[in-house]
Amino acid sequence: MTATARSELLFSKAVQGDLSIEAETTLPTRHGQFRCIVFRHAEDWTKEHVAMVRGDVAGDDTLLRVHSECLTSEVFGSLKCDCADQLDLALESITAQGRGVLLYLRQEGRSIGLANKIRAYALQDKGADTVDANRALNLPDDARRYDAVAAMLVWLGIHSVHLMTNNPAKVEGLRALGVTVRERVPVVIEAQPFSSAYLATKRSRMRHALP
């Protein structure tokens, strides 16, 4: 496919400002039935983000999980982090409440990409923690941005949220973009031997609210 054809494909769907709505369907899952919407955002048109919507979410006090892609955990079952468990818990919580949204962002490895994430894992195997491993690779501790989230929430008609996260930086980042976060809802997964050091680093060096 030529660069011109690829560009035309990316802009072939309905574009509203910085947001492109690519596709939508009803998706039955083991956590219940969701409305699945695929978006692209001007920050990076090559990435497809997903909204998993349950119930009528427009208005105030919508339960929200902003979840970054983790191929190693969610597909391959890696035990080095708790990402897959957090994803499952968030979808279960939204289903139990009957109303909420999970925004799945294509930001692998806190947005450093899969190859760099695996390089960082290799350094962690030699004793570095997740922060020092990134820095040894001349990478930021956390490269994620949430501009797409703010745009998707506007498109969904959501005015304020109860944000499922342990990360205060995510709350701060969304508020800086104008998102009204009413409260932070913990998403705590019990540590196991392979993830305990990683979670301890998130608590001590990245301000995550973890026990």
CA angle 102/175/205 to nearest 5° reads 85
| Domain containing residue 19: CATH number | 3.40.50.10990
Note the pLDDT of residue 13: 52
pLDDT, one tens digit per residue, over 63-117 is 999 999 999 999 999 999 999 999 999 999 999 999 999 999 999 999 999 999 9
pLDDT over 80 (residue 1): no
pLDDT, one tens digit per residue, over 28-44 is 999 999 999 999 999 99
Its sign, for the CA torsion 179, 164, 66, 203, is positive
In a domain, 65, yes or no: yes
In a domain, 173, yes or no: yes
Which residues contact residue 75 at a Cβ distance below 8 angstroms, ignoring those fewer than 6 apart? none
- Residue with tokens 């920050």, as numbered in its chain: 43
pLDDT, one tens digit per residue, over 144-170 is 999 999 999 999 999 999 999 999 999
Note the pLDDT of residue 4: 41
In a domain, 19, yes or no: yes
Active site residues: 142, 144
pTM: 0.90
Note down the domain range covering 80: 15-107+144-188
Q: What is the mean pLDDT of residues 119-135?
A: 95
Number of structural domains (the chain) is 1
Least confident span in 41-50, 167-176, 178-187, 202-211: 202-211
Report how far residue 147's alpha carbon sits from residue 73's, in angstroms, rounded to the nearest whole number: 25
What are the φ/ψ torsions at residue 123 (nearest 5 degrees)?
A: -70, -35
In a domain, 89, yes or no: yes
Note the pLDDT of residue 207: 86
Which residues contact residue 184 at a Cβ distance below 8 angstroms, ignoring those fewer than 6 apart? 163, 165, 168, 171, 209
